[in-house]
A and B are shown apart, each in its own frame.
Chain A
Amino acid sequence: MVEVIKGALSLGLLWAIMTIGVYITYRILSIADLTVEGSITLGAAIAAHAITSGMNPYLGTLIALLGGMAAGLCTGLLHTKLKIPALLSGILTMIGLYSINLRVMGKANISLLRMENVYTVFENMGLEPTWATITLGAISVAAIVCLLYWFFGTELGCAIRATGNNPYMVRAQGINTNTMIIIGLVISNGLVSLGGALIAQNQNFSDIGMGTGSIVIGLASVIIGEVLFGKRNFFMRLTSLVFGAITYRIIIAFVLKLGMHSNDLKLFTAITVAIALSLPMIKDFVNPPKIAIGEGEQDA
């Protein structure tokens, strides 16, 4: 039992990085960015290739971050400069990345077993592997949350948040909305790719199919976080994403323990997200909003 929670915690922390990336596009920019399905694998692929060719794992992880940012830039340019709808821009980059990821890895999957990775340093300090992951995951997530909290409080960050909210107003204030969207996509996909690199090193392999459905997992985590841990202010929102990602992993660990076949997981996640997204409608249906009607008005 403790082992299950520990495992969910470690995995949840790594997926939290990816979740924060999804949050930036989905909630802040109001764009459903499918690039993430490709950029999470790109991160894993770059890290795996770097490590197997003897590069320092930290440097490899950093390059993975940069690779994801480049993917975000690509989607951003397709969307803003070539005026391709955001959803389609993301799909195009995602499909393109499939081939790029195969090129980077040279084959469909790479094993990282018994190779030095970013967690090795912590294991050498005497931590068992899961705790090593939790330690590095927690440090990374805390750093990212603090960094983003600062960034989205700056003039530039405020302009990006406003762009997702009301682009007309933002342009009237002299801000180039295209640049803001591109910056948002770059940061988002950089984080997703970084998450992918850390996940691959945690599971000791990188696989071409590991990104499939990741957008839905990200969305599920965002929504669970919002529903369970509130969204009062921006700092709370960011931390709620982390708890959302961890909660999602705990839920998954439990349904697997209860006997669900792991092949059914994606269907389970998709249904969960569909229900979560339709919650406001379901609420109104089950419990219609009461409208105060005066005595006289009822007859009219």
Chain B
Amino acid sequence: MLRIDGVYKVFNPGTVNQKTALRNVSLDMKEGDFITLIGGNGAGKSTLLNCIAGVYGVDKGSINIAGVDVTKLTEYKRAAFLGRVFQDPMMGTASDMILEENLALALRRGKPRGLRWGISNKEREVYRELLSHLGLGLEHRLNVKVKLLSGGQRQAITLLMATLNKPKVLLLDEHTAALDPKTAAIVLDLTERLVHENGLTTLMVTHNMRDAIRYGNRLIMMHDGRIFLDIQGEEKKKLTVEELLARFGSASGQEFSYDRALLS
């Protein structure tokens, strides 16, 4: 469903700040794969996601989504294939617009925008139905400006928006990192449910080792712009935090940086 071949990404080339964020990254995601992507700060996780989404172009290599070579496509064109949720709850929604307008914008993802009315009454019913499943009481707040909602509610909405028009690949960029632990747990559960119900191919970046182990069928660890570990199947199911740390150590020849990953 998603194939990445030998991707390199260099920031600020030719300057003292030159930084190679991705070094020869290759990844083949099968349909229905739910990959959790973990790594320390600066490992290249977010850069990889942004390269897939087209926020940055790649310097070498190719990216292929559902059989289409998207390497040269702009961000907004690739959006036809992708559902995205960002770390910052403010990023995923238009805060000055009302809830139903945000959902309507997402329902039309990847489709040409014409002069038809922006929201139909039929859609509103669908939105109410879907929002009621979130269990956050949002089904009664279709006419509320999104900026009046909490960070957790906004992430839940962004998640719904990303899956409304079923994407080929769902990209989650530490989408619970800015939430308090309780809200984060709710949003993660919701994530798993939506991914499961829609059979979505999902790539989820996280800082949290336990979450990386608990969710998904495959775990990838990045360090210094490379993929170091790729654990799947039964092996993934039996994985523990200690084992993951040990395996990272032996694979990379150094200890995993204990920044936020262990604390959380």
Hey, which bits of chain A sit against chain B, CB under 8 A?
151, 153-159, 161-162, 165-166, 168-177
Contacts and interface: CB of A to CB of B under 8 A. Distances in A.
22 contacts: A151-B115, A154-B116, A155-B104, A155-B114, A156-B115, A157-B118, A158-B97, A158-B105, A158-B118, A161-B94, A161-B101, A162-B102, A166-B94, A170-B76, A171-B79, A172-B84, A172-B109, A173-B79, A173-B105, A173-B106, A174-B77, A176-B76
A174 B76 contact: yes
User: Chain A's interface: helix, strand, loop or mixed, by majority?
Assistant: helix
A270 B115 CA distance: 38
B151 interface: no
A174 B114 contact: no
Nearest to A161: B97
A201 B74 CA distance: 46
B79 A172 contact: yes
Contact of B101 (A156, A158, A168, A172): A158
Given A158-B105, A174-B79, A169 B93 contact: yes
B84 A154 contact: no
Contacts of A165: 94-97
A168 to B, nearest CB: 5
Contacts of A173: 79, 105-106, 108-109, 161
Contacts of B119: 158
Contacts of B161: 173
Nearest to A27: B96
Interface in B64-78: 74-77
B118 A170 contact: no
A158 B120 CA distance: 13
A300 B74 CA distance: 54
A162 B109 CA distance: 13
B91 interface: yes
A161 to B, nearest CB: 6
A157 B101 CA distance: 11
A49 B80 CA distance: 48
B96 to A, nearest CB: 5
A155 B108 contact: yes
B118 A153 contact: yes
B117 interface: yes
B93 to A, nearest CB: 6
B113 interface: yes
B94 A162 contact: yes
B127 to A, nearest CB: 14
Contact of A162 (B79, B91, B105, B115): B105
A297 to B, nearest CB: 21
Given A154-B116, A154-B117, A158-B104, A174 B109 contact: yes
A103 B76 CA distance: 40
B57 interface: no
Interface string B77-95: 1011010101000111111
B107 to A, nearest CB: 9
A161 B104 CA distance: 13
Nearest to B74: A176
B91 A174 contact: no
B110 interface: yes
A168 B104 contact: no
Given A154-B115, A154-B117, A159-B113, A170 B77 contact: no
Contacts of B108: 155, 173-174
Contacts of A154: 113-118
Contact of B113 (A153, A168, A171, A175): A175
B22 interface: no
Contacts of A172: 53, 75, 79, 82, 84, 92, 109
A142 B74 CA distance: 40
Contacts of A157: 118
A161 B145 CA distance: 13
Contacts of A153: 117-118
B140 interface: no
Nearest to B113: A155
A155 B97 contact: no
A148 to B, nearest CB: 13
A154 B118 CA distance: 4
Contacts of B182: none
A256 to B, nearest CB: 37
Contacts of A174: 76-77, 79-80, 108-111
Nearest to A177: B76
Contacts of B96: 165
Given A155-B115, A174-B108, 20 more contacts: A153-B117, A154-B114, A154-B116, A158-B101, A158-B104, A158-B113, A159-B105, A165-B95, A166-B91, A166-B94, A169-B91, A169-B93, A169-B94, A170-B105, A171-B79, A173-B106, A174-B79, A175-B76, A176-B74, A177-B76
